[in-house]
Structure 1
Amino acid sequence: MTSLVLVGAVLGTAEFLHWRASWSELGAEGSRGGREAVVVLGYRNAGGRANWMNRWRVRAGIRSFDPRAEESLLVLCGGAVGGPVPEAELMAAYARERGYAGAIGRDGASRTTWENVTNAIPLIEDAATIKVVSNSLHAAKARGFLRQQRPDLAARLVRGADYRFGEQLWLRPIAVVIDLRHSLRSRRGARPVP
């Protein structure tokens, strides 16, 4: 019984932290309608096909589109960090396999979350609404990086559809630990951690 309570507490805490992160670092000026950009952050990909995490992120990015938007742009970020093909290219191929026929912007050079944000800026500058999609903690970190780099664009940040209650429940505690580790490393050093 004690083990079940402990597991429930860990899962519940992780779920709460992800929910809270999904509402953090949002802007005040995002508008409905107009042009929207949905930025999907890649995850280390070793093979020649999008891995399960990048496939999930692409699906979450596509479900983040607002049907009232005049125009939507899917921005896929990630260089060849874990393999020979940039994550952005692998995710673009997967989006097309899923039937997505809309506009795609690619950042195939970045190797860190900070670089994802830096390289996405030219692709999202004219968007009225900007959404960042990843796991909720990672997306919040990227929104914070955008706020540091371009506060004017961060004011247009609105919530994406990457958080759903109970989705990937088993993965959320792991993401919390990874985020905590990165936060501790970045506090020790001056540069942002991916």
Structure 2
Amino acid sequence: MQRGTRLAVAAAAALVWGEWLNWRWSQALVGNREGPSEAVVVLGFRNPQPAANFINRWRVRAGIRSITGDHARDTRLIFSGGATGKGVAEAELLADYARSVLRWDGEVLLEDRSRTTWENVINVIPLLEDVDRIKIASQPAHALKARAYLRRQRPDLAERLVRADDYRPGEWLLGKPLLALYGLWTLRGIRAGERKLSPR
């Protein structure tokens, strides 16, 4: 096999692997719970600048597209993330982007104290108590980590988790191998049982 062919095969394998792993993470620790009310939790990403960065803008879009038509009226959109340094809280930047750019006019709640994913989950729990369905929107590995944390902290609420629309085939295609590598690193504290695909 010529060198160019070998490189092409290796690149294709890396893309398939990244796609598969991100898909798998998006399917873990979620169920098919029904109910009229839902909360979509959008987790913030480090954002020292005064406007939402590329990753945070994508996370907001993923959160909004996670709202199904049947539940739009009964959905609360929760933005979670504290300030980076002395800047504005991530939650505020996310909410501003949702309202001013994406024209979201539904219910918005802010959790603006968290500095870690564990704190994200702890601090949004009071906002989730009375909803039927919970979606967590972020990159698939990060969202899985948050779902695992919710399962550890409040297993009763974790029973309400359903899949967010934060994984789509081909989206971020070239970056998915890198996201997969980073995801493996960030999920190193998540037990094997917390990564298994949810039963359908």
TM-score by length of 1: 0.90
| Corresponding position of 1:54 | 56
Is the deviation greater in 151-160 or in 69-78?
Answer: 69-78
Alignment of 1:14-53 (within 5 A): 14-27=18-31, 30-32=33-35, 34-53=36-55
Cα separation, 1, equivalents of 2:141 and 2:186 = 11
| Corresponding position of 1:67 | 69
Say if 1:63 and 1:183 are closer, same or farther in 2 by CA, change over 3 A. Answer: closer
* SS of residue matched to 2:187: helix
AA matched with 1:174: L
| Corresponding position of 1:86 | 89
TM-score by length of 2: 0.87
Structure number with greater Rg is 2
2:183 aligned with 1:179, yes or no?
Answer: yes
| Corresponding position of 2:194 | none
CA apart distance, 1:83:
5.9
Query: Once the two structures are superposed, what CA deviation does each residue of 1:55-90 show, in whole Å capped at 9, x if it has no partner?
Result: 011011000002112511001111113661111000
| Corresponding position of 1:110 | 114
- 5+ residue gaps, structure 1: 188-194
Say if 1:136 and 1:106 are closer, same or farther in 2 by CA, change over 3 A. Answer: same
* SS of residue matched to 1:104: strand
Output the aligned Cα RMSD. 1.5
CA apart distance, 1:52:
0.7
Cα separation, 1, equivalents of 2:25 and 2:183 = 11
Cα separation, 1, equivalents of 2:121 and 2:156 = 14
Cα separation, 2, equivalents of 1:183 and 1:127 = 27
Question: Are 2:25 and 2:141, in contact at CA under 8 Å, matched by a contact in 1?
Answer: yes
* SS of residue matched to 1:4: helix
Matched pairs, number: 184
Question: Are 1:45 and 1:82, in contact at CA under 8 Å, matched by a contact in 2?
Answer: no
Cα separation, 1, equivalents of 2:86 and 2:175 = 23
Cα separation, 1, equivalents of 2:182 and 2:86 = 21
Query: Once the two structures are superposed, what CA deviation does each residue of 1:172-193 show, in whole Å capped at 9, x if it has no partner?
Result: 2222222222234x48xxxxxx
